[in-house]
Structure 1
Amino acid sequence: MEPNSLTHLLASSHTRPCRVVQWATGTIGTRSLRAVIEHPGLDLAGVYVHSADKKGRDAGELCGLTATGVRATDSIDEILSLGADCVLYMPLVSDIGEVCTLLAAGLNVVTTGGGFHHPASMDPVDCARVETACWSGGTSLHSTGSSPGFITEAVPLLLASIQRRLDGIMIDEYADLSQRDSPELLFDIMGFGRAPGDIDEYRLEHARTSFGPSLRLVADALSLPLDSVEVSGELATVREDVPIAAGVLSAGTVGAQRTTVFGMRHGEPLLSFRATWYCSTDLVPSWNVRATGWHIALDGDAPLDIDLRFPVPLEHMREISPSYTANRAVNVLPFVCSAAPGIRTTLELPQIISNLG
C-alpha cells in the first residue's frame, strides 16, 4: 500500500508536530499524557476527562508536571473543535460510537483498548461502521499496547523473520503480585485468597477476545492461518499461610492463576499466549513461575528461547509498569497520523522507531 510506505510515513511524521488529545486520565492515560507533553515531536491539544473533579484542571497538574495552559474538559464538542490530528483513546471501557464520532470528525485514533487488532475478527457490522467513519473523516485507527500489542505482534513477527519453518511460539507473561497493596483488586476482583472453584468463564472469554485477534494477525502474516482460538484456565493454591502486601493468603486458597489462549492450526497449538499471575511460588500443584516479565519460546528451524524481564523492584512495579503500555501508543502516533484511512494493524505500519530527542 503505497501511502503507508516507510518513506512516506517517516517524511510526513516530521513535517510538523502532531497535535494530540489525551482521552481519559486513568493509570495508563496519565502516563501517556505526561509522555505527550514531554515528547519533542508532539503538541498537546486537549484532554478529555470523565470525572467532575478533573474538569478544568491543567493537563500538567493531572500528570505531575508544570502547567501547560491546556485544561481538561468533559465536552466532546470542545474536543472536536480543537483541530487536533489524533486522539489517544484510553477509557476504561471503549465505546465504538465515540470512536466513530472522533474518526468521522477528522481525528485519527490510537487506542490501548482491544477490539481492533485484527479487523477480520471483528463483528462485521462494527468493522464496517468503523471503516466508514475512517473514510468519511480521512482518518486511521490503530490498537496497540504492551500486551496485546508489542509482545503478541511486534516481537513474534520479528523473531519469525529468521525462520523458514515454524512449529510453534509460546509467549508467557508473568506477574508477581505479592507486593501489590490492593486488597480489592487481588481478593475481590481477581479472586486470590478464595477457595479454588470453577474458572471464571467471563475471564476466559475476555482472554480469548483480547489475545485471539493478535494471534490470528501474526498467523495470517506468516501465511499460517489459524483454524480456531481456544482458551483454558488453571488455579494453584498456597501450601501454607502466605503474608502479602494486600493481606494474608490462607493455606489451601488460590495463590496463582493461569490463563492460556491457544491459536490452533491442524489440531495443534501454533501460537499461544499464557498469562500467569501469582502471589507465591510455593504452590499446589507446583508451577514453574518466573520473575515478572515475558518469556518467548520459539520452535522452528532456528529455535529461540528468550527472557524479557522487568528489572524493577516489586514495590515499585505499580509506578513503572504503565510505561510498558502507554509508551508504544505514544510512539506510534506520528505513523498513524500519516497512514491511509481505515483500521491499520501492526502489519500495515512500519517498524515503530521512537523519537527520543
Structure 2
Amino acid sequence: MAEQQTSLALPPAGKRYRVVQWSAGRVGTSSMRAIIDHPDMDLVGLWVHSESKAGRDIGELCDRGHLGIAATRSVDDVIALKPDCVMYMQEGYDADDICAILGAGINIVTSRGEFHSPPRMDQELRRRVEAACEEGGASIHSTGISPGFITEAFPLVLTSIARRLDCLTIDEFADMTASCSDEMLLDVLRYGGTPEEASNPHLVHHMTANFGQSLNVVAQALGLSFDDIQTTAENAVARERIPLMGGRAIEAGTVAAMRFTVAGMRDGKPLLQFRANWFCTTDLDADWSIRENGWRVQLEGDTPLDIYIGMPVDCSPEEMPLVMAGYTAQRGVNCVPYVCAAAPGIRTSAEMPQIISRLG
C-alpha cells in the first residue's frame, strides 16, 4: 500500500513489493516476466480484458510456469489483493478503474501517455485522478521507453551539463515491419495507401497528447515554458513493393513511412522536439536520413551534443515484438519502488530520483 513520503524519497532498503499486472499484451507479458525475475518483487495478480484468459494461471500466460494464481477481470479482485502497485498497461484506459485503484491506496505505474504532465492532461481527468490519489494516499506515474526514458530521463541527463539550451531534437527511428502485424500496419496505421488515405488526424492527436506532455515535463524541470505545442505529419512512399511477414504487401508508390514532429515552441522556434520516423523500408521517395532502430538526440546550446543510440537486438522476427516490448515494460518495473516511495499525486520523472535498476 502507498506510503506518504516526499516525491523525491528513495525506496526503503529491504522492502518487498506486491505487484499486480493490469493487462497481458506484449508489454504486459514482458512486465510480468520482469516482475517475476525481480529480486524485490512478487507478482500477486493479473487483470485481463479477455474472457479467454480469465481464470488461467498467470505464470502460464507469460511462459513462467504454474504460479497457482488465477487471472481476473474484476477490479475489485485486484483491490482485494492489497498490492503495493499496479502495472497499468492496457490499450486505452478506464478512469473509473484507475481512480478506484488509487482511492484504495494502491500506487500505479502506467505506460499510458495521458498521465505524464498534469498541466497538459485533460483537466477533468486530472481532477478525478488527483482526488483519488489524495483519498488513498497513492501516486501514479507514466513512463516507458518512448515517451518516457528517451523523452524525459535522457534529456534531463544531457542538459545537466548545459547553461544554455537553444534546441533539443529527438529523432526516433523504428522499422514498423519488425513489431507490427500486417493488419496493424495496413488497416490501423494506414500504411500502403495514398498520402491522402494515410492522413490520420486521430494519430496526430495521439502524438500531441502523449509526446507533448512528455516534452512539457522536461521544459518545466528546466524552468522553461512553451508558447505552444505544434504537431506536423509527413508521409513518404515506397519505390519498390514491400512484402510483409503476414503475407500482405505495401505496393510501390504507396505510403511506406510516416514522420510526426511534436515541437514545444518558444518565441516562434522549436525548443524541444520529438520526431518519430516510422518506416517500413529505407527505399523512399524522401530523404529523411533514416537509420536503424534507435534514436538520434541532438542538443544545441553552449554544450552541443549529437548522440545516436542503436538497438542491436539479435533475435528472430517472431521474437522481435516481445523483445521490443521489454524496453517499455522494464522501465516501468524499475520505477515501482520509487513510485511507492513518492508523495501522493500524479508524479513526473522530474519529481522522482534517478531510476536505478536493482539487478541482483
Q: Is TM > 0.5 for Structure 1 vs Structure 2?
A: yes
Per-residue CA deviation, residues 77-130 of structure 1 (Å, 9 max, x unaligned), is: 211111211111111111111111000011111110111111011233221211
Per-residue CA deviation, residues 290-341 of structure 1 (Å, 9 max, x unaligned), is: 1011110111111101111110247242131001100011000011111111
> Whole-Å Cα distance in 1 between the matches of residues 303 and 260 of structure 2?
28
- Could you tell me which amino acid in structure 1 is paired with residue 151 of structure 2? T
1:73-152 alignment, distance < 5 Å? 73-152=72-151
- Distance change >3 Å, CA 120–CA 181, structure 1 → 2: closer
Deviation at 1:178, TM superposition (A): 3.8
Contact 2:7 2:341 in 1 (8 A): no
Cross-structure match for 2:206? 206
Q: Secondary structure at the match of 1:3?
A: coil
- Could you tell me which amino acid in structure 2 is paired with residue 320 of structure 1? V
> Whole-Å Cα distance in 1 between the matches of residues 154 and 82 of structure 2?
35
Cross-structure match for 1:16? 15
Contact 1:239 1:282 in 2 (8 A): yes
1:318 aligns with 2:317: no
Contact 1:88 1:109 in 2 (8 A): yes
Contact 1:220 1:226 in 2 (8 A): no
Provide the TM-score with structure 1 as the length reference.
0.95
Deviation at 1:244, TM superposition (A): 3.8
Contact 1:262 1:269 in 2 (8 A): yes
Per-residue CA deviation, residues 134-178 of structure 1 (Å, 9 max, x unaligned), is: 111111111111111101100001100011111101101111134
Cross-structure match for 1:331? 334
Cross-structure match for 1:27? 26
Contact 2:242 2:249 in 1 (8 A): yes
Contact 2:114 2:209 in 1 (8 A): yes
1:3 aligns with 2:9: no
Q: Secondary structure at the match of 2:112?
A: coil
Cross-structure match for 2:224? 224
Q: Secondary structure at the match of 1:4?
A: coil
RMSD: 1.6
Within the candidate set 337, 342, 351, 2:354 is matched to 351
> Whole-Å Cα distance in 2 between the matches of residues 177 and 320 of structure 1?
14
Residue range with higher mean Cα deviation, 65-74 or 108-117: 65-74
Cross-structure match for 1:292? 293
Contact 1:179 1:244 in 2 (8 A): no
> Whole-Å Cα distance in 1 between the matches of residues 330 and 19 of structure 2?
14
Deviation at 1:181, TM superposition (A): 6.7
> Whole-Å Cα distance in 2 between the matches of residues 240 and 91 of structure 1?
36
> Whole-Å Cα distance in 2 between the matches of residues 128 and 60 of structure 1?
36
Deviation at 1:285, TM superposition (A): 2.3
Q: Secondary structure at the match of 1:350?
A: coil
- Could you tell me which amino acid in structure 1 is paired with residue 347 of structure 2? R
> Whole-Å Cα distance in 2 between the matches of residues 180 and 142 of structure 1?
25
Cross-structure match for 2:261? 260
Contact 1:4 1:348 in 2 (8 A): no
> Whole-Å Cα distance in 2 between the matches of residues 97 and 64 of structure 1?
31
Q: Secondary structure at the match of 1:210?
A: helix
- Could you tell me which amino acid in structure 1 is paired with residue 108 of structure 2? V
> Whole-Å Cα distance in 1 between the matches of residues 225 and 180 of structure 2?
42
- Could you tell me which amino acid in structure 1 is paired with residue 116 of structure 2? H
> Whole-Å Cα distance in 1 between the matches of residues 125 and 131 of structure 2?
10
> Whole-Å Cα distance in 1 between the matches of residues 303 and 23 of structure 2?
43
Q: Secondary structure at the match of 1:130?
A: helix
> Whole-Å Cα distance in 1 between the matches of residues 237 and 286 of structure 2?
7
Contact 1:180 1:245 in 2 (8 A): no
> Whole-Å Cα distance in 2 between the matches of residues 77 and 180 of structure 1?
34
Deviation at 1:180, TM superposition (A): 5.1
> Whole-Å Cα distance in 1 between the matches of residues 259 and 178 of structure 2?
19
Contact 2:110 2:142 in 1 (8 A): yes
Q: Secondary structure at the match of 2:191?
A: coil
Identity %: 49
1:56 aligns with 2:62: no
Deviation at 1:5, TM superposition (A): 6.6
- Could you tell me which amino acid in structure 2 is paired with residue 26 of structure 1? G
- Could you tell me which amino acid in structure 2 is paired with residue 319 of structure 1? L
Residue range with higher mean Cα deviation, 109-118 or 309-318: 309-318
- Distance change >3 Å, CA 123–CA 40, structure 1 → 2: same
Per-residue CA deviation, residues 17-47 of structure 1 (Å, 9 max, x unaligned), is: 0111111111111110111111110112211
Deviation at 1:203, TM superposition (A): 1.1
Residue range with higher mean Cα deviation, 214-223 or 191-200: 191-200
- Could you tell me which amino acid in structure 1 is paired with residue 235 of structure 2? L
Cross-structure match for 2:241? 241
Provide the TM-score with structure 2 as the length reference.
0.94
Deviation at 1:214, TM superposition (A): 0.9
Q: Secondary structure at the match of 2:83?
A: coil
Per-residue CA deviation, residues 203-254 of structure 1 (Å, 9 max, x unaligned), is: 1111100100111111111112111100000011112333343433222111
> Whole-Å Cα distance in 1 between the matches of residues 19 and 250 of structure 2?
44
> Whole-Å Cα distance in 2 between the matches of residues 153 and 116 of structure 1?
14
